[in-house]
Amino acid sequence: MNYETFQPHPDLAAIVKCHWILEVPGDIKAPKQRIIPDGCIEMCFILGDDVRRFTSETAYIIQPRAMVFGQITKPYYVQPTGYVNTFAVRFYPHGFANFITRPIHKLADKETPLTSLFEKALIIQLEQKIIEASSTQARIETVESFLLDRLTEQSVIDNIVKSTTEALASTKGNASIGTILKEDLSKRRSLERKFSRQVGISPKQLGKIIRLQAALKLMLDDKEKSLTQVAYESEYYDQAHFIKDFKELTGTNPKEYLSNDQMMLSSIIYSKD
């Protein structure tokens, strides 16, 4: 399995977290993989065999080959049908809203074909260029050209949303909204509305996801740490609070997470981010 990330163009660095690729040989019989919330929105191009997303224990859909997956608020399962070759753009929580007019919260917990969000002819052309590109760098240049062409002076990141997401990221999800707003709680309702439009989830939910991601990284970097240590270092109120949030966002408990082969893909991705 090969997973790599690449830094974006400086002109996109405020809204694009990274580009990434994932390659898995077709002869590896991968079980269903549990995907969990990370606070980001992904634009994905499936270049290998089809990928299933399960809508129930046994029912599934085939994911579009050029799509955006919105904010994830609950775990879901995917499974490749063969060779995996995916190229994707990972946007910061506030990033992708700058490119579309559709309310961003309507993209949550589902895949949306790019042809539903942009002019169909442009997406067909973009997808063909991505498929025919001779290298990952060529794919990055192609998709960045597409994104840069769509940034306008009107699509400027709202300062309060950007500063809030940065404050949550820098404190690993532990900054209170009151502290971020310097206790000016009159701004809270405005922030909630802007988050819904720009990010797709509430500031509180994003903070919860970011804090869990920080805890996951601690667990993966040092598997000898006790859950009490992880909870303390991640600034949860107590171990019970940590386990409650963990189960809500991953669908499993911390001990099962480390030994569950359905978390193999998530573990690789989150240990490298």
Mean pLDDT of the chain: 84
User: Which tokens go with 272?
Assistant: 């490298």
Q: Give, in order, the Cα–Cα distances in Å from 60 to each of 55, 69, 80, 237.
A: 5, 16, 12, 38
159-272: which CATH topology?
Arc Repressor Mutant, subunit A (1.10.10)
Helix (H, G, I), strand (E, B) or coil at 16: strand
pLDDT digits (tens, 9 = 90+) for 68-104: 999 999 999 999 999 999 999 999 988 898 888 888 8
Cβ within 8 Å of residue 255, ≥6 positions away: 227
* Structural domain spans, the chain: 2-150, 159-272
* H or E segment and range at residue 216: helix 203-221
pLDDT digits (tens, 9 = 90+) for 126-146: 999 999 999 999 999 999 999
CATH number corresponding to 2-150: 2.60.120.10
Q: Is the pLDDT of residue 186 over 60?
A: yes
DSSP one-letter code for 8: P
Let me know: does 60 contact 53? Beta carbons within 8 Å: yes
pLDDT band (50, 70, 90) for residue 262: low
Cα 80 to Cα 2: distance, rounded to the nearest angstrom = 15
Mean pLDDT of 224-248: 85
Stronger pLDDT, 64 or 256, i.e. the higher one = 64
Helix (H, G, I), strand (E, B) or coil at 212: helix
Q: Is the pLDDT of residue 14 over 60?
A: yes
- What pLDDT was estimated at residue 154? 44
